[in-house]
Homo-oligomer: A and B are copies of this chain.
Amino acid sequence: MRVTIGDVAVLAGVSKTTVSRVLNDRGEVDGETARRVQEVIDRLGYVPSARAVGLALGRTSTVGMLVPSLDWPWMSEIVQGVADTLEVQKYGLLLYTCTRGQVSLDQFAASVAAHSCDGVLVVVPENGLGYVTDLYERGLPVVMIDDRGFGPALPTVACTNLAGGASAARHLLELGRRSPIVLTGRLEYGCVQERLAGFAQVYRSAGRPLADEQIIEGDFTAAGGRAAVEMAGRSGRQFDAVFAMNDLSAAGVLAGIRESGRMVPDDVAVIGFDDVEVAVHTDPRLTTVHQPIREMGATAASMLLAALAGAPLPVEPTVLETTLVVRGSTVP
């Protein structure tokens, strides 16, 4: 049988109130009494039931998190950043994934409605924005990670996507690459729009505005990257560089170029985005725009925890810096 506060009270010869006091060291307890109680607690290995404490206090000391899927290394790293921060603050992490689309979302919603957590961290899944915004407007503390361009209605942690795109462009221009192809992710995403805007602007300023045919909408997968290169090849368009908006698709681009018999970086320079581990396993290794992914997760968690502690959530997005990391796919 589970040992309860009542058992401790009886063995220590005090009331449950007193036990509770030493548990939460409220002071105001006689030193000797406290010692006796503590001794019983230790002897019994008593630990208060989280459920009961939660019910009495009206909180769970747990944070809910929703991510589309852990299959993307970017996501895992975000989650790891969150987990590290929550652990330090002694909060639990209730993780929900969205591999079954709406069904998954409903599951998450049910959990939130049942007050299984005090606040929520979200990497918004397809069609999930309305629901999440709704939660926030009803007063639940919410922090969104990497706004997907769905607007600033929620407290958000993001990175400098625009500057990142621009840095990729500048690097290519410095290398004398005049005819790049840009392989995006889905154009609805805010991060994609920003990266594209930053990249395009630099080329425009350099007197080489991007033509529509230089922009290919991708899907962030390696297969998509390979397919894009093939397509570009068949179209007969000349290109001396590819800016792929994540590392996975950049890896696909590398493979596609290799298959076409051209050389990286001599014939074609390739830049990715994210700087996840795959970037150092390709051949050549990938020049890429580094995102401080783990810090983004950690920052979001800190913001949420601060909100749970009473601080107001910032209205302005918190934006972390991206940095260009140069490797063999652009410079031999």
In angstroms, Cα B73 to Cα A278, docked, is: 11
Contact across chains for A97 and B70 when beta carbons are under 8 A apart: no
Q: A71-B76, A79-B70 are in contact. Are A281 and B280 (CB under 8 A)?
A: no
Q: A70-B79, A84-B97, A94-B93 are in contact. Are A111 and B281 (CB under 8 A)?
A: no
In angstroms, Cα B111 to Cα A75, docked, is: 25
In the assembled complex, the CB of A108 is this many whole angstroms from the nearest CB of chain B, namely: 9
Whether a CB of chain B sits under 8 angstroms from the CB of A10 is: no
In the assembled complex, the CB of A5 is this many whole angstroms from the nearest CB of chain B, namely: 13
B residues in contact with A52, CB < 8 Å: 55
Give how many A residues have a beta carbon under 8 Å from the other chain's beta carbons: 53
In the assembled complex, the CB of A66 is this many whole angstroms from the nearest CB of chain B, namely: 11
Contact across chains for B87 and A100 when beta carbons are under 8 A apart: yes
Contact across chains for A83 and B55 when beta carbons are under 8 A apart: no
Interface residues of A in 9-63 (CB under 8 A from B): 45, 47-55, 60, 62
Binds B, one of A112-120, A195-203, A206-214: A112-120
Residue of B nearest to A97 (CB): B83
Contact across chains for B280 and A282 when beta carbons are under 8 A apart: no
Whether a CB of chain B sits under 8 angstroms from the CB of A283 is: yes
Contact across chains for B104 and A97 when beta carbons are under 8 A apart: no
Whether a CB of chain B sits under 8 angstroms from the CB of A69 is: yes
Residue of B nearest to A52 (CB): B55
Proximity bits, A171-206, B CB within 8 Å = 1, else 0: 000000000000000000000000000000000000
B residues in contact with A153, CB < 8 Å: none
Residue of B nearest to A67 (CB): B83
Whether a CB of chain B sits under 8 angstroms from the CB of A234 is: no
Scoring A2, A60, A87, A254 by chain B CB atoms within 10 A of each residue's CB, the highest score goes to A87
The one of B71, B83, B94 in contact with A62, judged by C-beta atoms closer than 8 angstroms, is B94
Q: A55-B55, A110-B47 are in contact. Are A83 and B60 (CB under 8 A)?
A: no
The one of B55, B92, B111 in contact with A111, judged by C-beta atoms closer than 8 angstroms, is B92
Contact across chains for A93 and B95 when beta carbons are under 8 A apart: yes
B residues in contact with A55, CB < 8 Å: 49, 51-52, 55
Closest 6 CB pairs of A and B: A50-B114, A47-B113, A283-B283, A76-B76, A83-B97, A70-B80
